[in-house]
Structure 1
Amino acid sequence: MKIAIEGCMHGDLDNVYKTIQHHEQIHNTKVDLLLCCGDFQAVRNEKDMDSLSVPIKYREMKSFWKYYSGQEVAPVPTIFIGGNHEASNYLWELYYGGWAATNIYFLGYAGVVKFGNLRIGGLSGIYKGRDYRSGHYERPPYNQSTIKSVYHVREYDVHKLMQLEEPLDIFLSHDWPVGITDYGDSRTLIQQKPFFQEEIEAKTLGSKPAAQLLEKLKPRYWFSAHLHCKFAAAVQHGNDGSVTKFLALDKCGPGKKFLQIIDIESEPGPFEVIYDEEWLAITREFNSVFPLTQRPASFSSAAMDIQESREWVRKKLEERQFKPFEFVKTVSAYNPSQRIFDPIPEIPQNPQTLSLLELLGLPYLLDSSPVTGERTAIPASPVRTDFQTYSEEIPIDDDTDEIEDIPEAEGDNIPQ
């Protein structure tokens, strides 16, 4: 199977797809899947801009709205995770995962799916210690604090991923696992990014939860973005001989190493996204302790009969051939000739999420108030959106980029 991996999308879908098609024409080949490692910016219309965590001067409609509206259809099946520059209101609708547009699948805040016989997992967001043990208390419309904290990784989602026992082929995270620089050419990395040196030496560059997941899950491949540079590594796990090949990529921009095409052994196609039985069983077991306030989850009160839940889930999934529910638009798409002036944001219940929860026999909780547990009231006044002094500002470029081959990780170069 031929897979394209992309770093920070920054909403530039058109450019990424054109680059892939150019590669296909030059090499007379076909890319089967595109994996995006965050900052996807699934902005559907002007209202979503109020939930997009980027400085106001970088707020543009970009091109996702064309795929959401159906004006364009993704030419390559696409799976993505969230980063730290997202229209978080839309991703919250699809917390459990689902089609963000036709042929474009969001893995959820945490999730696992299968594509052909490949098993692909992912964790959205970035790690910030102060929010890690909090529940998912943020709701749209966001203020200047929650528009950032909403994309901070939570222990609840990591804990669910830590329950996985079956092997993973690929894992996606936006920020790097902490310590990954020990397994690659960190000297060259520091030459390119001197300000990384202090964090590398202090073992603080990256995500602690991602490192825990890397140690536990041991996927064949791990792909990341966030730090706006290309970096390859190979992690050997203990004495069992298994190795995780790690690759981080740059943001989409001129001259950036943002796209990689690799071949992964797989069964012959056709390929499609299907639900993962083990993951949905874990989701079913832990939904009863889904933390919806700032208080952390109490995992001790969760039922833990995953095997029984798997058998129950399997019967349900067999009825629909394990296929995810179909894409449904929940808001109007951007229209360049017509502006939206309604200041009151929507918190729609996405039919895909409703259908999945009904399939799993679970209640819908995503519009519950962090305090009362009742449906959230929407204030009439819009949220202030002046983010000129935003400390995590990342400039966004618009031009075409190049493709480079992934260096094969040599076993002799792996630190013992």
Structure 2
Amino acid sequence: MKIAVEGCAHGDLDNIYATLQHLEHTENVKIDLLICCGDFQALRNEEDFESLSCPAKFRSMGSFWKYYSGVERAPYPTLFVGGNHEASNYLWELYYGGFVAPNIYFLGFAGVVKFGGVRIGGLSGIFKQGDYRKGHFERVPYNDSDIRSVYHVREYDVKKLLQLEGAIDVFVSHDWPEGVTQYGDVQQLLRHKRHFEQEIEENRLGSNAGKELLHKLKPDYWFAAHLHTKFAAVVPHPNSNKATRFLALDKCLPHRRFLQMVDIPAAAGPLEFTHDEEWLAITRAYHPYFPLTRQPMQLRNPLNLAAQRQWVQKRLGERGSAISMQFTMTAPPYQANQPRGRAGQLPGHVRNPQTEAFLEFLDLPYLLDHASESVPGQARVALPGPVETDPNEIPLEDDDAGPVEADPNEIPLEDDDAEVPENGALDTDDIDELESRSRCSVVDPDEIELCEDED
């Protein structure tokens, strides 16, 4: 199976898909699946900016809204995890995973699915120790603190992934597993990112939770992004004959290494997203302990995963394993021809029909709107109306707004060595250069790198 892997998408789906189509034409290959490693930015309309942790000067609608509204259709099945620049209100609707647009699947805050015989696991968000043991307490509309903590990795989701026993072919995260740099060319990394040196020396670069997952799950491949650079490594696993091929990629900009194609051996299976039996059993077992306050998960009784797996096997036998593709819009799409407006009253939590169907499939109660106002089935939002904007208004997130405590894991949208276009997207004149920079041949599983480094 030929899988295209992309780093930080930042909402630029038009250019990403155009690049893949160019690759198919020039390399005479057929891409089966696109995997994006976070900062996807599934912005449906301007209301979603209120749930996106991003300085106002870097806000751009991008092109996802076209695929959400049906103006365009994703030409490739697309799977992604969340990062630290997301429309968190929308992703929370699909906490367990689901289609954010036709043919574009969000893996959830943590999840495992199969695609064409390839078993794919993933974890959304970035690691921050101070929030790790907390529950998912944030609720829409987010305040200035919760808009950042909502995407921090939680122990509950990691514990669920650590229960997996079956082999994982591909694991996807946004930030890197802690310590992975010792297995690759760290000197080359430091030539591109000198400011990582101290964190690498102190073994602080990356996610501690990711490190635990890497050495427990031992996936064949681990794909990530977040640090806006390309880095490859091969991580051996002692006392086993396995090794994980790790690859981090850049963001979608000209002259950047943001895309790679990997050819992965796959068991026979339909090229569609299907449920994973073991993951469904884990989801059922952990559901009663879902922490929805600042308090950590309290596991009061031993988990009987065997009994849950038997239940899931029976249910899959009755209803099948294919994930329903009945996508439903839960907010009005952006209207490009409408004057730019100011977001109105923010809605409460929206019950996404896909999530309701998933929980009904597993015979589980709906908990995502616990202690919050929710709107079953549809959002209480209206298209924004035209207003005059104040150019002197300084948002709280802006880098000129005052001193804040820096978090080394919070990689901002602005990159230290790249100029971001004013509108946040690529010009059409840049596409040919972007395509030529990312054009590489398909590789076999033993060769994680596609292109030789230019320096």
C-alpha change, 1:38 and 1:73, in structure 2 (3 Å) is same
2:4 counterpart residue number: 4
2:447 counterpart residue number: 408
Which structure 1 residue ranges, 5 or more long, are not aligned?
A: 411-416
TM-score for the superposition, normalised by structure 2: 0.85
CA deviations 1:30-77 (Å, max 9, x no partner) are: 100000000000000110011111111111111000101111110000
CA deviations 1:341-397 (Å, max 9, x no partner) are: 66222221000000111111111111112xxxx5469999x9x95421286532245
2:452 counterpart residue number: none
* Matched pairs, number: 403
Map 1:204-283 to 2 at 5 A: 204-268=204-268, 270-283=270-283
Query: Could you tell me whether the CA contact under 8 Å between 1:286 and 1:302 is conserved in 2?
Result: no
> Given residue 367 of structure 2, which amino acid in structure 1 is its aligned partner?
L
CA deviations 1:235-294 (Å, max 9, x no partner) are: 110132101000000011110000001111113564110011100110010010100000
Distance, in Å, in 2 between the alignment partners of 1:409 and 1:355 is 38
Which structure 2 residue ranges, 5 or more long, are not aligned?
A: 385-393, 415-419, 450-455
> Given residue 289 of structure 2, which amino acid in structure 1 is its aligned partner?
V
Map 1:1-400 to 2 at 5 A: 1-268=1-268, 270-299=270-299, 301-325=300-324, 326-338=326-338, 343-346=344-347, 347-369=349-371, 375=373, 386-389=396-399, 392=410, 393-395=412-414, 396=420, 398-399=425-426, 400=431
SS at structure 2 position matched to 1:344 = coil
SS at structure 2 position matched to 1:14 = helix
C-alpha change, 1:76 and 1:385, in structure 2 (3 Å) is same
Distance, in Å, in 1 between the alignment partners of 2:186 and 2:102 is 40
SS at structure 2 position matched to 1:34 = strand
Query: Could you tell me whether the CA contact under 8 Å between 1:168 and 1:217 is conserved in 2?
Result: yes
Query: Could you tell me whether the CA contact under 8 Å between 1:289 and 1:302 is conserved in 2?
Result: no
SS at structure 2 position matched to 1:235 = strand
Query: Could you tell me whether the CA contact under 8 Å between 2:54 and 2:397 is conserved in 1?
Result: yes
Query: Could you tell me whether the CA contact under 8 Å between 2:115 and 2:270 is conserved in 1?
Result: no
Distance, in Å, in 2 between the alignment partners of 1:386 and 1:330 is 28
Query: Could you tell me whether the CA contact under 8 Å between 1:288 and 1:302 is conserved in 2?
Result: no
> Which shifted more, 397-406 or 214-223?
397-406
Query: Could you tell me whether the CA contact under 8 Å between 2:225 and 2:249 is conserved in 1?
Result: yes
Distance, in Å, in 2 between the alignment partners of 1:294 and 1:189 is 37
> Given residue 312 of structure 1, which amino acid in structure 2 is its aligned partner?
W
Distance, in Å, in 1 between the alignment partners of 2:345 and 2:317 is 41
TM-score for the superposition, normalised by structure 1: 0.92
Query: Could you tell me whether the CA contact under 8 Å between 1:286 and 1:303 is conserved in 2?
Result: no
Shift of 1:303: 4.9
Distance, in Å, in 1 between the alignment partners of 2:7 and 2:120 is 16
> Given residue 163 of structure 1, which amino acid in structure 2 is its aligned partner?
Q
SS at structure 1 position matched to 2:222 = strand
Query: Could you tell me whether the CA contact under 8 Å between 2:107 and 2:122 is conserved in 1?
Result: yes
Query: Could you tell me whether the CA contact under 8 Å between 2:111 and 2:121 is conserved in 1?
Result: yes
> Given residue 327 of structure 2, which amino acid in structure 1 is its aligned partner?
F
Distance, in Å, in 2 between the alignment partners of 1:207 and 1:363 is 32
C-alpha change, 1:385 and 1:141, in structure 2 (3 Å) is farther
Query: Could you tell me whether the CA contact under 8 Å between 1:114 and 1:276 is conserved in 2?
Result: yes
CA RMSD of aligned residues (A): 2.2
Distance, in Å, in 1 between the alignment partners of 2:50 and 2:159 is 30
> Given residue 4 of structure 1, which amino acid in structure 2 is its aligned partner?
A
> Which shifted more, 29-38 or 358-367?
358-367
